[in-house]
Amino acid sequence: MKTAVISGGAGGLGQALSAALQERGWRVVLLDLKVDGVQDTATQIAIACDLTDPEQLARAVNDTLAHCDSIDLVVYNAGITQICGFDQSDDTSHRKVFEINYFAAVSMARAFLPALRQSRGAHLAISSVAGFAPLYHRTAYAASKHALEGFFKSLRSEERPHGVRVHIAAPSFVATNPGRAEQQPDGTARPGSASDGMDEMTPEAAARVILQGLDRGRPVIPVGRVARLAWWLNRLVPRLYQRLMERNISGA
């Protein structure tokens, strides 16, 4: 039985990916800060873990390896966003976004690297349109996703000789946590709790597109109509893309 590890596993997209993989006969290990309401089953294990805490991450990795014969897919789905102008943010909140969106993924990748090499498995980074294009009032979030993409694109070249694949999924807006904004005092929140005018996909629809991209071996997987359009527009006419993005999101 193949095994996937999904960070941010208690959120909407993590749950949808878990369900879809289990339907394919996979075992899934879910990592999240809180796993209340996520039940362990014969094919699903939930582990509470602060991914930014090295000791907690090490315990979670050891528990995972103890329960599973192989690790075939690691999904880097954990993340937070911050919606505000740069002049309203501070360095502390900016670093918090990076710790969760970027550094936690790097630490996970390092921890599972030997297991993925052994299984000749795959890394799947859940990025965003903000990982390849600008996004209004998301300076910290966009920067963290650009860093995430840069890391995994570079890792792809290093891991190819080991037979390990690297995929990057780039959704626009996925309603992963509707009604669960839980915005912190510093303005950070889990993504997917409130739309900003982007087209909205259900987690289940996004999971289907992402897994289809994996099946087809696509290194980059735009998820949703806006994501596909944004990828091409930003690549071909970036100034036009920026104007359209600003008009759509800021109302300017």
Catalytic residue annotation:
141
- Strand partners for 220: 168
In angstroms, the CA 141 to CA 81 distance is: 5
- CA-closest candidate to residue 14, choices 162, 169, 227, 152: 169
Q: Which residues pair with 201 in a beta bridge?
A: 174
Nearest to 168 by CA among 117, 119, 229, 105: 105
Picking from 192, 206, 82, the residue whose alpha carbon sits closest to that of residue 136 is: 82
Query: What is residue 162's DSSP assignment?
Result: G
Looking up tokens 């992402």 gives 210
- Angstrom distances, CA of residue 103 to CA of 3, 125, 182: 23, 13, 22
Which residues, at least 6 apart from 42, have a Cβ–Cβ distance to it below 8 Å? none
Which of helix, strand or coil describes residue 99? Answer: helix
Work out the burial of residue 208: count CB atoms within 10 Å of its CB; fewer than 13 is exposed, 13-18 middle, 19 or more buried.
Answer: middle
User: If we measure between CA atoms, which residue out of 81, 96, 93, 102 comes closest to residue 7?
Assistant: 102
